Structure 1
Amino acid sequence: MNGRSTRFLLGVATGALVCANAAHAQDSDAAAPEPMPRAEATNPEQPMIVVTAQRRDQDLQDVPVTVTVFGAEEIANARIQAVDDVVTRTVGLSFDAFPSAQPRLFIRGIGSSDRGAAGDPSAGVFLDDIYLGRPAGIAFDAFDIERIEVLKGPQGTLFGRNVVGGAINVITRKPDPAGFDASAEATYGNYDRFDTAAFVNVPFAQNTGAIRVSGAYRSHHGYVRNAFLDEDVSDQETLSGRVQFYAEPTPELRMHFTIDGTRDRATGPANHVVGRDTSDPISALYSINADPDLTYGSDVGYQNRDTIGVRAEISYDLPFARAIFLGSYRDLDYGLRYDFDGGNSNPDSPGFNGVNIGGGQDEKAESSSQEVRLASLPGSAVDWVIGFYHYNQQVRRDDIFILDAAPVAPIPLTEIYDQNSSLDSVAVFGDATVPITDRLSVIGGLRYTRDDKSYHVANTRSDVPLRGSEFFDVATSADFDALTYRAGVNFQPNADHLFYAMVSRGFKSGGFQETPETAVDAATAYEPETATQYEIGQKSTLIDGRLIWNNTLFYLDYEDLQTRQVDPETGGIFTTNAGAATIKGYETQLLARPFDGFDLSVAYAYTDATFDEYVENGVDLAGNRISRTPRHKVSVSPSYTHALPGGVDLTLAADYRYESLIYDDNSNQPPEIRPATHFVDARVMIEGIADHLSLSIWGKNLTDERTRTWQAIFLGAHFAAFNPPRTYGATLRWEY
């Protein structure tokens, strides 16, 4: 950890301690304030899970949307720290993790592999309702988080930057004016893992406002050994902080301001040649290395990322509605370098490759958003919202490709694509839930979105146009618009059961090529994609609240889906509209407490995602499965808590996850196939130790399952990257 990192972390910690001491002194002569009133559960056996999937606080069992929710306790105990931890624990959700700093998400088979400056993700990530528009900008630490919601299917009405596949919404814990609160934890584990995190919440002004400061530092040594350079790769050093200010000057007025930042430093991803493409004459120049723990790259590379964000939310209760303003600004500075082939040019090395491939990306991005809403007051007979949304994004990105291969060229060659993209998006929307009877309600929403994109791309800094046939410098622009909607009915025969039917349509904007081969390709936009989902669902609370069982059937009509293809002659990668696909499936979730102390969570998703129309390089792939989408995914999490003498609670918990075979390429042909995987995590927690202390001894991937999280056939070789190995450690937590 460098000096700047140390000073920042110490500053956050010192500030937290100063605030803690001040608040303790302030409250030492007074009775502890009452906590903020919270909504009561319908049954104490099963506390209410609050979600904001419809942009208002609701019980999960009353929401006609398929939502997977991770609460604060589960996030802390299961060590859910980043977006990949959310993905692995959510049925119906998968991702491509190469590199880990630019995850590509797929929800119910809908995702995007395009990370170019003029592209958009198909599945969105939101931080406190603020859209994180760049894959590298999905940087948050899940410490001091209230909950994480995963919304399945198109979100084409209520969420900013209309998303076609689904959304992950991360909700931080807000400042609490009701009383002082603080917590700190430290973790040590294998691979020299060392984590620290702390927060402090300080009320002020007769409990009409509060300041909350959170900070976390996480580090570990490399999971993979570079035997050629005698160094570790795939390590981590992440520093993050968040400062929040909340005030209620009057009963009608609420103000919430946040500044957050994350600093990531890591070596480059570890790549491997796991096979040869014998159809390519240069395939014999590669050395195969299928050992996930070793690499022989000539450069350890780096993954550096700095993000900072500012958020402001102001709401005011008018006599007839609540007026809300939500604004943000976010800045991203990202750099990636890697040894793509995982080998070196030393003929005496076990990792000798006659073809050496490298490269990376440099990206600077700025985004801002403003949203104005009028919404019904809590308790209104009709729940409604109308609003206006504006999003602006500026991206400057260099895509760098380096090829050192004597059979191709006598000297090393570098290809650089300079990309500059500007996006201006506006939308107007409205949504309402109208009760017809005391048991039946109808839901309707509309959103009109217009995106204006301008794009400038050039490859003139390249030695030669390796993946194309010419040099070019092209400026172009296009606009895209769509009307999206949702409509449905809710039927609640009583407080314990909900039945619903919903149709929703989402839209993803068109864009421009990340690495075009010609000036014509650079100037030509690919078209938007749309998805229309038909869903019926049931949510039930049974056996006096000891059992929750939710089920969903869905059918998705996916049109003009944007897919990535590789030109077999040049190796160029481009995005095109594939035609059409049908995605249908079933999801179920069971939460049970069969007896006191024992809890069980079970979730299962069946997803059948196939192309109806798709031709790639002259081959008809209709009937093939969409890449990176498992047909089956299962999650099982049992836990048992036993009360020991002296007020100490002992909890044993485990997580089992199964994911069936995945095709990493739309051709569905070997070798780009991931076999089925089984992952097991477990933990032992002791709460009530001494004064405010708890201890957790945990292990992740206990069976040391090593699967490919990314793979591709390129320039005569089959390249792959692997998931982290078995990790374990202990976490000591103090809570005020």
Structure 2
Amino acid sequence: MKLQHTTSVIALLAGMTLALPAMAAAGDTQLEELIVTAQKREENVQQAPLAITAVTGASLQKDRVLSLEDLAHNMTGISFTANSPQSNEINIRGVVNTRLSSPTADQSVSTFVDDVFVARSGNLNSAFYDVARVEVVRGPQGVLLGKNVAGGAVNIISNSPTSERSGKVTVTLGNYDLRQTQGFLNGAITDSLNARFAFQTINRGGYAKDILHNTEVENLDSLQGRLYLSYRPQGSDLTADLIVDYSKDSNDGVNRVGLKSTTLPASFTPWSTTRALIAAKRGHLDVRESLPIWPLFKGDIAPTPQGARHETYNVIGKVEKDIAEGIRLSSITGYRNNQSFTLYDQTGLGPANGYNVAGPLLFAEPVNFNEEVEQVSQELRLASTNTDSAIDWIVGAYYQKSKVHQYNRYWGESTVLPTLSGESHWNDQGHNRDMAIFAQLGWKMTDTLKLEVGARYTKDKKWGFQQGIIVATGDRLNPADTAPLTPLTTNFATPYGEDWKKLTPQATLRWTPNDTTMAYGTISVGFKGGGFQNSASNAFAARTPYNPETVTNYELGYKTELFDRTVRWNSALFYMKYKDLQVQQTLSSCLCNVISNAPGATIKGLETDLQYAPNDWFKAWASGSYVDATYDTFVFAGVNNSGHMMQRTPKYQSAVGAEVTTDAGLWEDAVSARISYRWQGKMPWAPENTTWEKAYGTLDARLTLTSEDKNWSVSVWGKNITDELYRTNIIAFFQEEMSSFGAPRTVGVEFSAAF
């Protein structure tokens, strides 16, 4: 970003802020104070010297943020794409994993649930429920977050139990046959033990339809439950928490539609051409209608339908105890177990489409991923607790191990191409071990100036065994084919393994001139270990690792509250240098996915957030981000991507919203209306910058009536009210873009009763 541009943006925002005093009312602040724990200590988010956004559970519920996808569609500086129900892709500041689902792959943007790292992105399909807050940390966090973080992190914090006996039940009905229930029971079991049980069920019809099998797709059936026990013995500084949760969800598959690209070089367009012929026969074919093939795997007596199923249980134990004067020991133990099944047709239309229409080069390639994951983690910390001392410190150790077994089945049917006919399987058993020690020291140099320095030493080890199996070559159209189904070229069985070590330092200087203003400067290094290809073409490819990625971040930020704390304005300016950024692409030469390293990338930008609450009945907010993310040098498969925009990264994002609360007759603060709009600029889907998603925006709103005693409420809500059509993923074939779409307009009514 040019300095002149940055200066003009800051000046514009400052001008907006200075225009607010005439509307501000003196008195106590109406802005919500949030306590976060991203740096392993409780602190006001306004005093935390890092780019962090914290969203309360109440705000999440008002905006119907039920998933990581919803979260990304409700904020700036973060975006979401998804190749399949097994590959959720979170992008923060241009850093994103694209279809990185190998058993040894780490995520550049990490996700934590109740401070425990979640190793597999496919484990996060479960919807949010009974959440206290979500913390989104932007930029590398190489010291304290528990797992070394290269691009940023999302931490989902559950509501903890209290001694007060309470409960709540919420029922929601909406279009697409939505039926949702959620609730909790909370209270004391003994004088020292509190408990909270929370649950959620969601049953929803499909946003799209498989017209070949007359089946709704993109539907959802889910069940979730959590038991949270909190032990606080009287007269002791011991605290112990146990969290046990379970989730299960299923759907009948995804909707994939081949659209003719307006930017790719002229080539064949078999899917859009065939869809046009089918539309002529039917009279209509909508983008939310597709014709996926259900594969008949060798040895089966019936085709396997599209669908996805996940089942996860999670156990977390947290213990804290003062072991000496001014020293506290903290322990966080985590265990996760997940089983998942995903089958989807990558093209959404094949030669066997029920309409006797088959365009040239038309093919179908359903893929089936079966994954079992077992993960354990342990973190131990010692931290100083004397808040009057000029010195504070944290030291700790971290261990995490996961075992991932993938059995992937690819099935292909093609009109002409031998490599797209037949059936190939991959059996991959991967192991990941992460060990680290870390320390941070804080020194209050003056009453207003504090220096924090820290470092983390990480050792990652990845190993396993992968087997590629040619099950069948030809298909019903070309039974004599001898070429195996891509990307497999030959049967193989090979072990693989490698380890990487890295020291990641960090230094932060924090200036707090008064209790409403804080500014900071940070230099930090993030690291993510390397890994190995899944569904490799041969033994050499399976045992050849891709390199770890590292990033160095230079960041300046400030957080301030103005005009009797009726205005809150936070901003951050950052400059990041990436080395060996892990990028996965689809090669047109083999129609296969390959993970490679972009030698260098530069990311620079500005993020700003403004909140305004002049009184107790009105509040408004606005945020925006500018990210200039480009590859410095990146040549892959003969294509020079140097200087191109980084994939799936919109340069501009913005969001605005407001909420008004008023009386209804004698009922005080009974009616509230909330509206929000989020917009993002166009973005390239791949490093070649030849396929793009156009700019789009989504509008949400909610109207709530609350009873006089606040014991019940009824709301009507709408998401994507303008029914904006946007895509969450594409894969380019020829001059076609195999497209997946975001949720359409959804509306509903919600009733809540507290007791």
Q: Same fold (TM over 0.5)?
A: yes
Q: 1:503 matched to which residue of 2?
A: 523
How big is each residue's C-alpha offset from its partner over 1:122-180, in whole Å with a ceiling of 9 and x where there is no partner? 10000011001001111443221100010000011011221100000000011113x11
Matches within 5 A, 1:601-612: 601-612=621-632
**Whole-Å Cα distance in 2 between the matches of residues 641 and 476 of structure 1?**
60
Uncovered stretches (5+) of structure 2, i.e. residues with no partner: 1-26, 277-284, 295-304, 473-483
Q: 2:308 matched to which residue of 1?
A: 303
Are residues 1:582 and 2:577 paired? no
Are residues 1:145 and 2:143 paired? no
Contact kept in structure 1, 2:468 and 2:536, CA below 8 Å: no
Q: 2:145 matched to which residue of 1?
A: 159
Q: 1:68 matched to which residue of 2?
A: 53
**Whole-Å Cα distance in 1 between the matches of residues 259 and 373 of structure 2?**
35
Q: 1:722 matched to which residue of 2?
A: 741
In structure 2, relative to structure 1, the CA distance for the partners of 1:479 and 1:346 (3 Å cut) is closer
* 3-state SS of 1:522 partner: helix
* 3-state SS of 1:61 partner: helix
Are residues 1:333 and 2:318 paired? no
Q: 1:374 matched to which residue of 2?
A: 382
* 3-state SS of 1:459 partner: strand
Q: 1:593 matched to which residue of 2?
A: 613
**1:528: Cα distance to partner?**
0.5
**Whole-Å Cα distance in 2 between the matches of residues 589 and 383 of structure 1?**
30
Matches within 5 A, 1:323-472: 323-346=329-352, 349=355, 354-377=362-385, 379-381=387-389, 382-409=391-418, 412-463=421-472, 464=484, 466-472=486-492
**1:44: Cα distance to partner?**
3.9
**Whole-Å Cα distance in 2 between the matches of residues 109 and 64 of structure 1?**
21
Q: 2:672 matched to which residue of 1?
A: 651
Q: 1:697 matched to which residue of 2?
A: 716
Q: 2:633 matched to which residue of 1?
A: 613
* 3-state SS of 2:531 partner: coil
Equivalent in 36, 54, 76 of residue 39 of structure 2: 54
* 3-state SS of 1:488 partner: strand
In structure 2, relative to structure 1, the CA distance for the partners of 1:352 and 1:209 (3 Å cut) is farther
Contact kept in structure 1, 2:194 and 2:231, CA below 8 Å: yes
Q: 2:62 matched to which residue of 1?
A: 77
Are residues 1:735 and 2:744 paired? no
**Whole-Å Cα distance in 1 between the matches of residues 378 and 412 of structure 2?**
44
Equivalent in 274, 286, 289 of residue 287 of structure 1: 274
Contact kept in structure 2, 1:343 and 1:352, CA below 8 Å: no
Are residues 1:560 and 2:590 paired? no
How big is each residue's C-alpha offset from its partner over 1:589-626, in whole Å with a ceiling of 9 and x where there is no partner? 00101344110111100000001010022122111000
**Whole-Å Cα distance in 2 between the matches of residues 169 and 152 of structure 1?**
12
**1:225: Cα distance to partner?**
1.9
In structure 2, relative to structure 1, the CA distance for the partners of 1:380 and 1:450 (3 Å cut) is farther
**Whole-Å Cα distance in 1 between the matches of residues 704 and 720 of structure 2?**
18
* 3-state SS of 1:174 partner: coil
**1:689: Cα distance to partner?**
5.5
Q: 2:4 matched to which residue of 1?
A: none
In structure 2, relative to structure 1, the CA distance for the partners of 1:523 and 1:251 (3 Å cut) is same
Contact kept in structure 2, 1:75 and 1:81, CA below 8 Å: yes
How big is each residue's C-alpha offset from its partner over 1:557-576, in whole Å with a ceiling of 9 and x where there is no partner? 11111111333322221111
Partner letter of residue 124 of structure 1? S
**1:203: Cα distance to partner?**
0.8
**1:644: Cα distance to partner?**
2.0
Contact kept in structure 1, 2:463 and 2:498, CA below 8 Å: yes
Uncovered stretches (5+) of structure 1, i.e. residues with no partner: 1-41
Partner letter of residue 487 of structure 2? R
Partner letter of residue 41 of structure 2? R
* 3-state SS of 2:64 partner: coil
**Whole-Å Cα distance in 2 between the matches of residues 572 and 347 of structure 1?**
24
Measured on the aligned residues, the alpha-carbon RMSD in Å equals 2.0
Q: 1:481 matched to which residue of 2?
A: 501
Q: 1:37 matched to which residue of 2?
A: none
* 3-state SS of 1:521 partner: helix
**Whole-Å Cα distance in 1 between the matches of residues 392 and 684 of structure 2?**
43
Contact kept in structure 2, 1:49 and 1:59, CA below 8 Å: yes
* 3-state SS of 1:520 partner: helix
Q: 2:298 matched to which residue of 1?
A: none
Contact kept in structure 1, 2:130 and 2:158, CA below 8 Å: yes
Per mean C-alpha deviation after superposition, the further-off stretch among 111-120 and 593-602 is 593-602
In structure 2, relative to structure 1, the CA distance for the partners of 1:454 and 1:530 (3 Å cut) is same
Q: 1:28 matched to which residue of 2?
A: none
Partner letter of residue 295 of structure 1? S
Partner letter of residue 676 of structure 2? D
In structure 2, relative to structure 1, the CA distance for the partners of 1:347 and 1:125 (3 Å cut) is closer
Partner letter of residue 94 of structure 1? S
**1:45: Cα distance to partner?**
2.5
Contact kept in structure 2, 1:355 and 1:405, CA below 8 Å: yes
* 3-state SS of 1:162 partner: coil
* 3-state SS of 2:61 partner: helix
The count of residues paired between Structure 1 and Structure 2 equals 691
**1:409: Cα distance to partner?**
3.8
Q: 1:185 matched to which residue of 2?
A: 170
**1:104: Cα distance to partner?**
1.1
Per mean C-alpha deviation after superposition, the further-off stretch among 683-692 and 524-533 is 683-692
In structure 2, relative to structure 1, the CA distance for the partners of 1:691 and 1:75 (3 Å cut) is closer
How big is each residue's C-alpha offset from its partner over 1:345-366, in whole Å with a ceiling of 9 and x where there is no partner? 3566297564222112110010
In structure 2, relative to structure 1, the CA distance for the partners of 1:360 and 1:275 (3 Å cut) is farther
Per mean C-alpha deviation after superposition, the further-off stretch among 52-61 and 121-130 is 52-61
**1:687: Cα distance to partner?**
1.4
**Whole-Å Cα distance in 2 between the matches of residues 254 and 433 of structure 1?**
25
Contact kept in structure 1, 2:258 and 2:271, CA below 8 Å: no
**1:222: Cα distance to partner?**
0.4
Equivalent in 225, 240, 246 of residue 224 of structure 2: 240
* 3-state SS of 1:95 partner: strand
In structure 2, relative to structure 1, the CA distance for the partners of 1:284 and 1:444 (3 Å cut) is closer
Contact kept in structure 1, 2:141 and 2:150, CA below 8 Å: yes
**1:181: Cα distance to partner?**
1.7
Partner letter of residue 723 of structure 1? G
Equivalent in 226, 246, 249 of residue 210 of structure 2: 226
How big is each residue's C-alpha offset from its partner over 1:193-241, in whole Å with a ceiling of 9 and x where there is no partner? 00001101121323x2201100000111001022222221110011100
In structure 2, relative to structure 1, the CA distance for the partners of 1:378 and 1:678 (3 Å cut) is farther
Contact kept in structure 1, 2:292 and 2:349, CA below 8 Å: yes
Partner letter of residue 676 of structure 1? A
**1:645: Cα distance to partner?**
2.4
Q: 1:316 matched to which residue of 2?
A: 321
Per mean C-alpha deviation after superposition, the further-off stretch among 436-445 and 592-601 is 592-601
Per mean C-alpha deviation after superposition, the further-off stretch among 361-370 and 592-601 is 592-601
Contact kept in structure 1, 2:260 and 2:272, CA below 8 Å: no
Are residues 1:661 and 2:645 paired? no
Q: 2:158 matched to which residue of 1?
A: 172
* 3-state SS of 2:153 partner: strand
**1:716: Cα distance to partner?**
6.6
Structure with bigger RCO (C-alpha 8 Å, 6+ apart): 2
* 3-state SS of 2:242 partner: strand
Contact kept in structure 1, 2:252 and 2:308, CA below 8 Å: yes
* 3-state SS of 2:84 partner: coil
**1:540: Cα distance to partner?**
0.4
* 3-state SS of 1:437 partner: coil
